[in-house]
Structure 1
Amino acid sequence: MRRGYKRSRTSKKGKFDPLDSQHVKHSHIGVWDLYEETQPQLAHIPGGSRLEPYLEILNSLPYVWRMIKDIGSIRACWFLLTVYLVIEFLASLLPAVSIWYSGQLLDIVQTAVDERKVDKNILLQVAAGRFACSVLTRILRYGKQKIAIPLNSRIKHFYSVHIFHAMARLDVPTFDDAAVQRQLEQSFPPDSRSSVAWDTVVMTLHIFSTVLQLGSQLSVLNGVLRGQRDGILLAVLSFSHTLFFWSFEVKPYLSGVWAATTKNADYIRMEGMKRLVSDPIHRKEIVAGGMWEYLLKDYKEAVERVADKAGDFYAALSVHRSRDKMRISTFLQDLFRELPQIVFTLRAVQYPASIPISLASLNLITQTTQTFTFKIFNLFEETGSISDKLSNVRKIYEVGIIPNKIPDGTTPFPEVHQSPNAGLSIEFRNVSFRYPGNDSYALRHISFKIEQGQLCVIVGANGSGKSTILKLVARLYEPSEGNILINGQDIKVLKLQDLRRATSVLFQDYTHFPLSIKDNIGLGDPENPKDEEKIREAARLGGAEEFIERLPDGFDTYLERPVKDYYSALPEGTTSLFGRPVDYGGIRHVGGMESSTNKTLSGGQMQRIALSRTFMRSLVSQPSVGLLLFDEPSASLDPTAEHDLFERLRQLRGNKTMVFSSHRFGNLTRHADLILYMNDSIVMEEGTHDQLLKKQGEYARIWMLQAQAFLP
Structure 2
Amino acid sequence: MHLPDPKDTLYDIWLASRSPNAPNRVQLAPGAQRPLTIAKLSLAGQIIARCGPGFFTLVWGLHPIRTLIMLALNVARGAFPALRGYSQALIINEVQSSISSGSFTWSHLLYLLGTEFSRMVLETAIDSFATLNENLVYGSARFLIEYRQMEQQLRLDVPTLSDPTTRDLLHESDLFVRSFAQAGIGGFGFGLLSPLDFVRVLTLLSELASHVFVLSSLTAATPSSGTSRTTQLYILAFSLITFILPHIVAWLRCPDSFNRYDDGGLPYTPQEARNAERQEKMRNLAHSDPYRPEVLVWGLGPWILQGWSKARRAMLGLDSEHRGTSNFIGQMDLVSSVLAQINFNFADLMMVVQNIPLMLVLQQSSGALGSLALYRNSVQQLVFTIRQLFTTTRMGLQSIFLMGAFCAAMEIEPLLAPKEDDLVQYVSHERGMKIEARNLCYTYPGSKQPSLSNVNFKLEAGERLAIVGHNGSGKSTLAKVLLRILDFDSGELLVNDVSVRHYNPHDFHNHVSTVFQGFSKFNSTLAENVGIGFVDKLKNTKAIEHAVKLAGATRIVESLPRGLKTRLDTAGADPFTFPSLNGSTENDTWASSRSHQGLSGGEWQHIALSRAFMRAHRPEVDLLVFDEPTSSLDAHAQNRIFDTIDDISRRPSGDRTKSVIFITHRLSTVRRADKVAFMENGTIVEFGTHQELMRRNGPYAALYRASV
SS at structure 1 position matched to 2:365 = helix
1:162 aligns with 2:163: no
Counterpart of 1:124 in structure 2 is 110
| Pairing partner for 2:55 from 28, 48, 67 | 67
How far 1:595 sits from its partner (Å)? 6.6
Following the alignment from structure 2 to structure 1, what is the Cα–Cα distance between the partners of residues 27 and 61?
46
Task: Give the superposition deviation at 1:548.
Answer: 2.6
Instruction: Please state whether the residue corresponding to 1:447 is helix, strand or coil.
Output: strand
* Contact 1:24-1:37 within 8 A present in 2 as well: no
* Superposition deviation, residue 648 in structure 1: 1.0
What is the SS of the residue equivalent to 1:95? helix
How far residue 485 of structure 1 moved from its aligned partner, in angstroms, is 1.2
Please show how residues 456-535 of structure 1 align to structure 2 within 5 Å.
456-526=465-535, 528-535=537-544
Q: Residues 319-361 of structure 1, C-alpha deviation per residue, up to 9 Å, x if partnerless? A: xxxxxxxxxxxxxxxxxxxxxxxxxxxxx9xx99752516554
- Is 1:540 paired with 2:549? yes
Determine whether 1:401 maps to 2:442.
no
* Residue 611 of structure 1, aligned match among 605, 609, 632: 609
Which one is further off, 79-88 or 374-383?
A: 79-88
SS at match of 1:505: strand
- Matched residue pairs, number? 557
* Aligned amino acid, residue 614 of structure 2: M
Structure 2 residue 171 is matched with structure 1 residue 175: no
- Structure 1 residues 278-293: aligned runs within 5 Å: none
Change beyond 3 A, Cα 1:498–1:447: same
Equivalent residue number for residue 412 of structure 1: 424
CA, structure 1 residues 223+113, in 2 after alignment: closer, same or farther (shift >3 Å)?
A: farther
1:127-152 CA distance string (max 9 Å, x none): 33333333434334433443344444
Deviation at 1:114, TM superposition (A): 9.3
2:455 corresponds to which residue? 446
Q: How does 1:73-84 map to 2 (within 5 A)?
A: 73-74=61-62, 77-84=63-70
Is this contact kept in 1: 2:605–2:632, CA < 8 A? yes
Q: Deviations over 1:30-55 (max 9, x none)?
A: xxxxxx99986428xxxxxxxx5696
Deviations 1:556-595 (A, max 9, x none): 34446897489xxxxxxxxxx98999xxxxxxxxxxxx67
Deviation at 1:510, TM superposition (A): 1.5
Contact 1:54-1:387 within 8 A present in 2 as well: no
Matched AA of 1:379: L
User: Does structure 1 residue 601 correspond to structure 2 residue 606?
Assistant: no
| Cα distance in structure 2, aligned partners of 1:15 and 1:90 | 38
* Alignment counterpart, residue 397 of structure 2, candidates 373, 380, 387: 387
Q: Give the match for residue 572 of structure 1.
A: none
The answer to whether the Cα contact below 8 Å between 2:18 and 2:27 also exists between their aligned partners in 1 is no
CA distance in 2: counterparts of 1:166 and 1:625, whole angstroms:
27
Residue 623 (str. 1) matches residue 611 (str. 2):
no
* Residues 191 and 472 of structure 1: CA distance in aligned 2, closer, same or farther (over 3 Å): closer
* Pick aligned residue for 2:174 from 188, 193, 203: 188
Assess, with a 3 A threshold, how the Cα gap between structure 1 residues 125 and 565 changes in structure 2: closer, same or farther: farther
Q: Secondary structure at the match of 1:525?
A: helix
CA distances 1:446-489 after superposition (whole Å, capped 9, x unpaired): 21111111011001111111112211111222222211111222
- Judging changes above 3 Å, is the alpha-carbon distance between structure 1 residues 532 and 578 closer, same or farther for their aligned structure 2 residues? closer
- The 8 Å contact of residues 433 and 480 in structure 1, kept in 2 or not, is answered as yes
2:434 and 2:496 in contact (8 A); partners too: yes
Change (3 A) 1:22 1:645: closer
Label 1:254 to 1:55 Cα distance change in 2 as closer, same or farther (>3 A): farther
Q: Please, which of 620, 632, 638 is the counterpart of residue 636 of structure 1? A: 632
| Distance in 2 (alpha carbons) for counterparts of 1:381 and 1:40 | 13
> Taking structure 1 as reference, are residues 634 and 22 closer, same or farther at Cα in structure 2, changes over 3 Å only?
closer
Partner residue of 1:142 out of 128, 144, 147: 128
Q: Tell me the residue number matched to 1:13.
A: 16
CA distance 1:529–1:444, shift in 2 (3 Å)? same
Report deviation, 1:630: 1.1
SS in 2 for 1:160: helix
Q: Residues 75-474 of structure 1 correspond to what in structure 2 (within 5 A)?
A: 77-102=63-88, 104=90, 108=94, 119-189=105-175, 194-195=180-181, 200=194, 202-226=196-220, 227=222, 228-230=225-227, 231-242=232-243, 253=256, 355=365, 357=367, 360-408=370-418, 410-415=422-427, 419-474=428-483
User: Measured at CA, do residues 385 and 54 of structure 1 come closer, stay the same or move farther in structure 2, by a change above 3 Å?
Assistant: farther
Distance of 2:24 and 2:165 partners within structure 1 = 26
Distance in structure 1 (CA, Å) of the matches to 2:589 and 2:552 = 25
Q: Which amino acid aligns with 2:51?
A: Y
Change (3 A) 1:202 1:37: closer
- Aligned partners of 2:513 and 2:615 also within 8 Å: yes
The one-letter code sitting in structure 2 at the alignment partner of 1:607 is Q
Task: Give the CA deviation at 1:526.
Answer: 4.6
Which has the larger helix fraction? 2
Structure 2 counterpart of 1:640, which letter?
A: H
Q: CA deviation at 1:61?
A: 5.2
What do the CA deviations read for 1:41-93 (whole angstroms, capped 9, x no partner)? 428xxxxxxxx56963663354233233223343xx33443444444344322
Measured after TM superposition, the shift of residue 665 of structure 1 is 0.5
User: Secondary structure of 1:13's partner?
Assistant: helix
Q: Which runs of 5+ in 1 are unaligned?
A: 1-9, 27-35, 44-51, 257-347, 567-576, 582-593, 708-712
What's the % identity of the aligned pairs?
Answer: 24
State the distance in 2 between where 1:181 and 1:238 align.
51
Give the C-alpha shift of residue 527 in structure 1: 5.0
1:669: how far off? 1.0
Cα distance in 1 for partners of 2:500, 2:477 equals: 16
Residue in 2 that maps onto 1:658: 660
Separation of aligned partners in 1, 2:479 and 2:64: 51
Say if 2:183 and 2:197, in contact at 8 Å, map to a contact too: no
Retained in 2: the 8 A contact 1:464–1:678? yes
Between the aligned partners of 2:697 and 2:50, the Cα distance in structure 1 is: 70
Contact 1:692 1:699 in 2 (8 A): yes
Amino acid at match of 2:660: M
| Distance in structure 2 (CA, Å) of the matches to 1:39 and 1:390 | 13
Q: Compared with structure 1, are the counterparts of its residues 113 and 516 closer, same or farther at alpha carbon in structure 2 (3 Å cutoff)?
A: closer
Asked if structure 2 preserves the Cα contact closer than 8 Å seen for 1:632 and 1:661, the reply is yes
Instruction: Indicate the SS of the match to 2:661.
Output: strand
> Per the alignment, in what secondary structure is the counterpart of residue 79 of structure 2?
helix
Q: Deviations over 1:493-523 (max 9, x none)?
A: 2333332222222221221345543333233
2 CA distance for matches of 1:613 and 1:65? 46
AA at the equivalent of 1:181:
R
CA–CA distance in structure 1, aligned partners of residues 597 and 55 of structure 2: 43
Which whole-Å CA distance do the structure 2 matches of 1:72 and 1:172 have between them? 35
Residue 464 to residue 255, structure 1, CA distance change in 2 (3 Å): farther
Partners of 1:255 and 1:686 in 2: CA distance: 67
Residue 678 of structure 1 corresponds to: 679
Match of 1:261 in 2: none
Contact 1:165 1:400 in 2 (8 A): no
**Cα deviation per residue 1:240-266 (whole Å; 9 max; x = unaligned)?**
44456767875863999xxxxxxxxxx
Q: Structure 1's 406 and 214: CA in aligned 2 closer, same or farther, altered over 3 A?
A: same
Q: Which residue does the alignment assign to 1:584?
A: none
Q: Quick one: which of 644, 648, 657 aligns to 1:648?
A: 644
Give TM-score scaled by structure 1 length.
Answer: 0.69
Q: What secondary structure does 1:475 align onto? A: coil
